[in-house]
Amino acid sequence: MRFVHTADWQIGMKAVHLGETAETARRARFQSARRIIEIAKEQRADFVLLAGDTFEHHGIERAKVREIANLLATAHCPVYIIPGNHDPAGSGSVWEDECWARSVHVRVLLAAEAVEAPGATLYPCPALSRTSAADPTAWIAGQTAGGIRIGIAHGSVSGHPDMEDCFPIPSDAACRLGLDYLAVGHYHSTAFYPGADGAARMAYCGTHEPTGFQERDSGNLLVVEIAGPGAPPVIQKLRTRVLDWHGAVHPIRGSADLAKLNEELEAISSPEQTLVQCTISGTADGIDEEAVERIRELVESRFLYGRFECGELRIEGNADEWIDALPPGYLQETARKLRADARAEPPDEVAAGALAEFRRMWREVRA
């Protein structure tokens, strides 16, 4: 028996932090969703599980809700959906739209009760509110159905360092509840939770299309194959993302680090489909400020979206020459005050950022 595990489509996400690129990012979420249906067919999946947060919120235009429902209806196999904390079941929810009743393939699971699926019994744990301190999988403990047992839940795995408790799920829930697999949504990166025997019977698939630069491993789905009750799942991670997101802080100690960073940025393939957030930091002695500006220009001009930040970089050595070249008076005094604050203990990061921007603008004026 083989199925596809996906979650956190977040359809309706505004992505306002991307400015003019936001609409491209929103379209990519639909493109990735279509790719999931294609992969399910290619893999000859028996069914698809969508483990919550299909939609960003209930205020989404109903035309988009129906577009997703119509897309899911084209699947060659059954699709099972649970509401997540962003789109919980309840009055006025997206799940009340009549579109969900039009396809025999698509089933929204709104109750915590066992459901028969091709080759397995499903134990859905739908979210009925935005947040909860209760374990959504707890009800499964009393269920005794045989065969392959699969749970579907949405929440934060207890003890996860990157998530606040929201529908907390024990990290050993699958083994504790006698499940062959627990498909979890909520965390946007792919993550596996092996049991005592080393088999991963519980996993986050991650969002199908990245939503931010902080995500470690997003833009995937999981194809899960289980030979029979008690057999360890064979899990295959497949890429679904349309856009690539690169975000990192790069420590700079000298010109060699700048040259290496420049090479790394130049080596990124498909820049027209890549979003980059590049931050440089550290204390460097006598580096070429023009090299810093060349990296800024590369980030801001080469990629679909580029954001460059150098406010945390402190340039020693020849860093004072540009200040000495300023006209005496207010401009020079302001620059020296910002420099003093940026070098204070502890350093003022706001002043450091302002000084870097001041330096950039002065160089543009001089050019």
pLDDT tens, residue by residue, 34-62: 999 999 999 999 999 999 999 999 999 99
- Asked if residue 229 has a cis previous peptide bond (ω within 30° of 0), the answer is no
The answer to whether residues 88 and 200 belong to one domain is: yes
Yes or no: say if 43 and 4 are a contact pair by the CB < 8 Å rule: yes
Residue where the block lists tokens 């009925």: 128
Q: Cα(141)–Cα(246) distance, rounded to whole angstroms?
A: 42
The answer to whether residues 292 and 353 belong to one domain is: yes
The answer to whether residues 231 and 273 belong to one domain is: no
Looking at 239, 260, 287, the residue that finishes a domain is: 239
Residue where the block lists tokens 């949504």: 185
> Which one is predicted more confidently, 165 or 262?
262
Where residue 316 falls among pLDDT bands split at 50, 70, 90?
A: low
Token pair listed for 252? 């700079």
The answer to whether residues 201 and 262 belong to one domain is: no
The answer to whether residues 221 and 290 belong to one domain is: no
Q: How many helices (H) and strands (E) does the chain have?
A: 8, 15
**Mean pLDDT to the nearest integer, 82-88:** 98
Number of separate domains in the chain: 2
The answer to whether residues 176 and 286 belong to one domain is: no
Q: 212-225 pLDDT, tens per residue?
A: 999 999 999 999 99
> Which one is predicted more confidently, 322 or 75?
75
Q: Would you say residue 318 has pLDDT above 60? A: no
pLDDT of residue 164: 76
The answer to whether residues 116 and 185 belong to one domain is: yes
Token pair listed for 229? 């009750």
CATH code for position 203: 3.60.21.10
pLDDT of residue 258: 92
pLDDT of residue 27: 96
The answer to whether residues 166 and 47 belong to one domain is: yes
Q: Would you say residue 344 has pLDDT above 60? A: yes
**Mean pLDDT to the nearest integer, 309-320:** 73
pLDDT of residue 340: 87
Query: Which of 330, 332, 334, 290 shows the shortest CA–CA distance to 310?
Result: 290
Which residues lie closer than 8 Å to 279 by C-beta, 6 or more apart?
A: 248, 249, 250, 308, 309, 310, 312
Provide the edge-to-edge strand list for the sheet that holds 115-117. Answer: 115-117, 120-125, 149-154, 181-185, 200-204, 191-194
Token pair listed for 27? 């379209």
Token pair listed for 297? 């220009």
Q: Cα(157)–Cα(175) distance, rounded to whole angstroms?
A: 14
The answer to whether residues 146 and 190 belong to one domain is: yes
Looking at 239, 273, 301, the residue that finishes a domain is: 239
**What is the rounded average pLDDT for all residues in the chain?**
92
Where residue 365 falls among pLDDT bands split at 50, 70, 90?
A: confident
Q: Would you say residue 363 has pLDDT above 90? A: no
Q: 281-295 pLDDT, tens per residue?
A: 988 867 777 888 899
Token pair listed for 246? 């690169």
Provide the edge-to-edge strand list for the sheet that holds 106-108. Answer: 106-108, 79-82, 47-51, 2-6, 220-225, 234-239
Q: 295-307 pLDDT, tens per residue?
A: 999 999 999 999 9
Yes or no: say if 222 and 235 are a contact pair by the CB < 8 Å rule: yes
The answer to whether residues 22 and 53 belong to one domain is: yes
- In single-letter form, the type of residue at position 357 comes to E
pLDDT of residue 317: 58
The answer to whether residues 159 and 257 belong to one domain is: no
Q: Would you say residue 112 has pLDDT above 80? A: yes
Q: Would you say residue 188 has pLDDT above 60? A: yes
| Full domain range(s) for residue 347 | 244-366
pLDDT of residue 345: 84
| Residues across the chain | 367
- CA distances 66 to 15, 76, 154, 282, 363, Å, are 21, 18, 23, 50, 52
| Beta pairing, strands 149-154 & 115-117 | unpaired
Count CB atoms within 10 A of the CB of residue 317.
10
Q: Would you say residue 23 has pLDDT above 80? A: yes
For residue 231, the 8-state DSSP code is: P
| Beta pairing, strands 115-117 & 47-51 | unpaired
pLDDT of residue 319: 56
**Mean pLDDT to the nearest integer, 76-86:** 98
Where residue 367 falls among pLDDT bands split at 50, 70, 90?
A: low
Where residue 320 falls among pLDDT bands split at 50, 70, 90?
A: low
Specify the range with the lowest mean pLDDT, choosing from 61-75, 198-212, 223-237, 323-337.
323-337
Looking at 239, 266, 291, the residue that finishes a domain is: 239
The answer to whether residues 57 and 75 belong to one domain is: yes
